[in-house]
Chains A and B, each alone.
Chain A
């Protein structure tokens, strides 16, 4: 605040400026506004993190559940691309995010010596039917199969592309 700042000679000078000028007020208000906007922005960020975290947890469980399903298939079904293709049309679990957003890719390859191309099946985001991209001809005679399940999606937080994947090796055995 400026006080006693009058100047002799001007008409206004007779009247002291005891208050605050509009510019000063505007600057003060702007500073307070910036402070609050930044705090609310941080809060908004927290809420977006929660959404992002929910999606992450859903996908993490989805990957585990899909692997769990594949582990429990009979070996003949596991090595059949068309069987896995039809299995993938049903989401791994009931999470709403899984049915809506991520692209799911299941890759099967004979282990330890795969064919040049893996068996790869893709279910695009929100899609109802999976596509067989390629097949590994060594799968039919393999005793071990390497299975990779990958979910990829675009995060609402900053539009970043994210992915979650897990890989395991499943052996042929006598299963009911």
Chain B
């Protein structure tokens, strides 16, 4: 009997070792790749649900402001929305509105803002006249909202109690128009990678679009009411079905009617 039979070789040959190392490497590589893929997938799922919450938050914010608006306008690219809202609050106290009946219907004015129904504008002119407006120098800078007046217009100067110059020209000639001065202006817009809400110049970031959030709002004016339709999409990290297909699958829709518009 040979010596090696009595003392069996308990180690590995070089070939065995190489094969074992190669097999081990393949297994480790597979484990690493699988781990990375899983991490990415979990992270994408987390982001997706997070962004979905942001979609709902944008819809909530926008709906709240649109409901209480007098006037809502969307820009032509549908990415900026301007809401003209009565001043429901005076400081921290609740405002007491004054209700007047005019020949054009019931008009509700809140403190610091007032609505007139006898405004006269001329096409391509910045002058606005109203017999009941009682303009004073305190009105300079106040917002002006009404038909045929561009969104974001303010009072630039006051000539006398019945005449003021606006920061933008009227887009058509009107008489006996309903115009609101000094109401709260809320603007929704996209700033960089964020959706921001600007109330009387104060900017609040309401959603950050790490996944390219894209809200689009259309204002629809019917004969008796006005509403907005909003769709919010984003670009998810998943791209299995192609970027466009994945993006179209993320759209959230919302419709909101202007409560204040439904008067009469």
Contact = CB atoms under 8 A, between A and B. Distances in A.
Interface string B31-64: 0001000100110010011001001100100000
Interface stretch (B119-127, B168-176, B189-197, B246-254): B246-254
A58 B252 contact: yes
> Which of A50, A58, A94, A96 neighbours the largest number of chain B CB atoms within 10 Å of its CB?
A50
B225 A72 contact: yes
A42 to B, nearest CB: 9
A6 B254 contact: no
A93 B218 CA distance: 13
Contact of A72 (B229, B252, B257): B257
A19 B256 CA distance: 72
A93 B12 contact: no
Contact of B10 (A18, A39, A43): A18
B227 A72 contact: yes
Interface residues of A, number: 36
A64 B42 CA distance: 31
Contacts, number: 88
A68 B256 CA distance: 7
Interface string B234-264: 0000000000000001111111110000111
B6 to A, nearest CB: 9
21 contacts: A4-B8, A6-B8, A18-B8, A18-B12, A19-B16, A40-B34, A46-B45, A50-B48, A58-B252, A58-B253, A65-B253, A68-B256, A68-B257, A69-B255, A72-B227, A72-B262, A93-B254, A95-B252, A95-B253, A175-B264, A176-B264
